[in-house]
A and B are shown apart, each in its own frame.
Chain A
Amino acid sequence: MSAQGGTATREGILAEVVKVLTELTEDWDVDFGAGLGADTRLVSDLSFESIDVVHFVTALEEHYGRRDLPFQDILMEDGKYVEDIRVGDVVDFLAKQFGAA
């Protein structure tokens, strides 16, 4: 279930991230329209607030059983927090961390 050790594929990671995100937002009062995918943006599409990002990161850490993933690399840019994040950016980040193909 967890993508580690360089065996993961980007598609596999995307599916896992979408699964985590679906579980996270299951009973939220937001309309996803076309459904979750790589192009979904957390803030503008899912109405994420900063505390929701924290819980999303926690959910991913729990899913992968890792607490050492440097999420600050995608959450911050030039010392400032980014305004929005695409699901695809999260997938790319994880793919890089897990050395995915």
Chain B
Amino acid sequence: MKTILFGLDGATYTVLDHMVAHGVMPNFKKFRDESTSCRLRSTPLPITPQAWTTLATGRSAGNHGMHDFLRYEPTQDGVYFRVNDYRTIAVETIWQYVSDRGKRVTVLNFFGTAPPPKISGHVMPGFVPPKHLRRSSHPSDLFAKLQHVDGFDVNVLGLDTNIEKMGLQKLDPDQWVEWIDLHIRREKAWYGILDHLMRTEPSDLTAIVFDGVDKIQHLAYRYMDPSTIPEKPLDWEKRVIERCKTYFKQVDDFLGAVVKSAGKWARIFIASDHGFTVTTEIVYVNKFLADNGYLTWRGEVAEDAKEAVFVDKLPNLVSAIDLKKTKAFAMTPSCNGIYINRQHLTPEEADKVRDELIEKLYKLKGPDGGLVVAEIKKREDWWPGPFTERAPDLTLTLRDHGLISILNGKSVVVPREEPAGTHHPHGVLLGRGPGIVEGQELEARDIIEVPQLLLHSLGLEIPGDYEGTFPTAFYEAEYLASDPPRKAEAPVAAAAASAAGATDEANLDEDEEAAIMERLRGLGYVE
């Protein structure tokens, strides 16, 4: 059956419900009433590249290899960054899989879809600067065809990293509205393409991500979460609140139009790659490492003054750290992690540094005396597979889910002047259409299971190496009996590893656990 994935990067019920309560999203409200919905657990590192790629592959990041936006490779005397792209993904994507089975696929604005796969259908990638968007689209004449579409503007569709970074740091009040409006225009341009392609060259699987949800929430989350909205907003804050509502109203209009044009015989899934919450402090991890003797700056390094988690140019940071005199360092804020400088340490020394860091980090206190680090993930435990080493040695979950800063700070933990938005591991998943239970709310599911819903909806077999289990509760039992999900046999060698590593075992509910045991039993792993 025709299937649509309506992606909302970073969407959370906290904000969506707030918008519904204020009458901003009537179409979403109706959609939720007619759908099965649940919270969606993101990948163990809840960020865009890892999470959307898991949704697009059915595999965990240790297997698909897309851990972060960048990956770094140590060189003789420094660090070389590679930007992750479609070629980073080591397993087959659903885009390719569906296309190979004779169906048409449209993929719009997803991270990591450039250089574009040569599928039957359309690919226009996200996170690509305007200057490179034409060449990064597939088929090669897609761009030319779309140029006549109302609102098509490559400078709006493409991602200007200099502008995007602004939303991740303190911004002057008069720039807020302008910045939110830019994202309103971008979404409109992307929707224009979606609408045009759905009408003129409809696909069996149509998938789009609206990433402004994430971008606007990073900046303006405190004006959308009922727990942080000021009681008496200033004039400029009132304008920001209005523009945020305008943004979500527009997304809601798009949803309404998509539901209408898809018709009755289609299924629509709304999914986010992660959720959002409020962050109230900044943790300067490299400052912590320097204070504790694990990192040596090259000379004086200026302290961050803009509450910026990003550095303007990553290479500047790299040259600011004296790697020859450094045992551990943080390289990108998005991976929230610490790398042990294994190049300059023996394996025993590296293990010792890691154990010491875990102990010290768990004792790290904020200015209020509270413990700051909620959880530390070791890469071999959370990202098993051929790409474990793309994860930092240690991944931190901070008490407020904040992203670490890789800059130097005046102290290790600094309260923010105003709260900002940060990723939360719980996003959203809703499904609506024939066979799906209406008005049902389920316990949280895992993002790794979403592609199983999509492939089943398209009438395709689910590859045997997909991790997680099919969320049968989405469907009426009677319907599912007539159209059961078909999963191929798992490749035998991989089955045990993937079943063990797929999900946080503490989070496994009994059904899932039983299903995994069942699968293992079927394969003869368990008596």
Q: Are A50 and B313 in contact (CB-based, < 8 A)? A: yes
Q: Are B135 and A78 in contact (CB-based, < 8 A)? A: no
Q: How far is the CA of A55 from the CA of B115 in the complex (A)?
A: 9
Taking the closest CB of chain B, its distance from the CB of A53, in whole angstroms, is: 10
Q: Are A80 and B87 in contact (CB-based, < 8 A)? A: no
Q: How far is the CA of A52 from the CA of B161 in the complex (A)?
A: 12
Q: Are B115 and A80 in contact (CB-based, < 8 A)? A: no
Q: Are B78 and A79 in contact (CB-based, < 8 A)? A: yes
| A27 on the B face (CB < 8 A) | yes
Q: How far is the CA of A69 from the CA of B353 in the complex (A)?
A: 33
Q: Which of B77, B83, B87, B161 is A78 in contact with, Cβ under 8 Å?
A: B77
Q: Are B318 and A79 in contact (CB-based, < 8 A)? A: yes
Q: How far is the CA of A28 from the CA of B80 in the complex (A)?
A: 27
Q: Are B323 and A58 in contact (CB-based, < 8 A)? A: no
Interface mask (B317-333 → A, CB under 8 Å = 1, otherwise 0):
01100010000000000
Among B77, B85, B131, the most chain A Cβ lie within 10 Å of the Cβ of B131
Q: Are B75 and A76 in contact (CB-based, < 8 A)? A: yes
Q: Are B134 and A27 in contact (CB-based, < 8 A)? A: yes
Interface mask (A71-90 → B, CB under 8 Å = 1, otherwise 0):
01001101111000000000
Near A by CB (< 8 A), chain B positions 280-335 give 313, 315, 318-319, 323
Q: How far is the CA of A54 from the CA of B77 in the complex (A)?
A: 21
Q: How far is the CA of A61 from the CA of B381 in the complex (A)?
A: 34
Q: How far is the CA of A23 from the CA of B78 in the complex (A)?
A: 32
Chain A: how many interface residues by the 8 Å CB criterion?
22
Q: How far is the CA of A67 from the CA of B71 in the complex (A)?
A: 14
CB-based nearest B residue for A79: B78
Taking the closest CB of chain B, its distance from the CB of A57, in whole angstroms, is: 9
Q: How far is the CA of A32 from the CA of B315 in the complex (A)?
A: 28
Cβ–Cβ < 8 Å partners of A50 in chain B: 313, 315
Q: Are B77 and A79 in contact (CB-based, < 8 A)? A: yes
CB-based nearest A residue for B322: A79
Q: How far is the CA of A76 from the CA of B135 in the complex (A)?
A: 26
Q: Are B319 and A52 in contact (CB-based, < 8 A)? A: no
| B435 on the A face (CB < 8 A) | no
CB-based nearest B residue for A56: B132
Cβ–Cβ < 8 Å partners of B115 in chain A: 58, 62
Q: Are B80 and A51 in contact (CB-based, < 8 A)? A: no
| B73 on the A face (CB < 8 A) | yes
Q: Are A76 and B80 in contact (CB-based, < 8 A)? A: yes
CB-based nearest B residue for A78: B77
Knowing A24-B135, A72-B73, A76-B78, say if A54 contacts B323 (CB, 8 Å).
no
Q: Are B313 and A72 in contact (CB-based, < 8 A)? A: no
Q: Are B132 and A81 in contact (CB-based, < 8 A)? A: no
Cβ–Cβ < 8 Å partners of A28 in chain B: 131
Cβ–Cβ < 8 Å partners of A55 in chain B: 129, 131-132, 135
Among B79, B83, B87, B313, the most chain A Cβ lie within 10 Å of the Cβ of B83
Interface mask (B455-493 → A, CB under 8 Å = 1, otherwise 0):
000000000000000000000000000000000000000
Taking the closest CB of chain A, its distance from the CB of B124, in whole angstroms, is: 15
Among A25, A62, A79, the most chain B Cβ lie within 10 Å of the Cβ of A79
Cβ–Cβ < 8 Å partners of B313 in chain A: 50
CB-based nearest B residue for A30: B131
Taking the closest CB of chain A, its distance from the CB of B351, in whole angstroms, is: 26
Knowing A76-B78, A80-B315, A80-B319, say if A51 contacts B135 (CB, 8 Å).
no
Q: How far is the CA of A70 from the CA of B78 in the complex (A)?
A: 14
Near B by CB (< 8 A), chain A positions 28-62 give 28, 50-52, 54-55, 58-59, 62
Q: Which of A27, A58, A72 is B75 in contact with, Cβ under 8 Å?
A: A72
Q: Which of B85, B132, B134, B323 is A79 in contact with, Cβ under 8 Å?
A: B323
Taking the closest CB of chain B, its distance from the CB of A84, in whole angstroms, is: 14
Q: How far is the CA of A25 from the CA of B129 in the complex (A)?
A: 13
Taking the closest CB of chain A, its distance from the CB of B104, in whole angstroms, is: 24
CB-based nearest B residue for A51: B129
Q: Are B87 and A67 in contact (CB-based, < 8 A)? A: yes
Q: List 10 A-B contacts (CB under 8 A).
A: A24-B135, A50-B313, A54-B83, A55-B132, A58-B85, A72-B75, A79-B323, A80-B315, A80-B319, A81-B315
- Extra contacts, 7 of them, besides A23-B135, A55-B129, A80-B319 (Cβ < 8 A), are A24-B132, A50-B315, A51-B161, A52-B129, A52-B131, A55-B135, A79-B318
List residues of B whose CB falls within 8 A of some A CB: 73, 75, 77-80, 83, 85, 87, 115, 129, 131-132, 134-135, 161, 313, 315, 318-319, 323
Report the 4 A-B pairs with minimum CB-CB distance, sorted nearest first: A79-B78, A79-B77, A72-B80, A81-B315
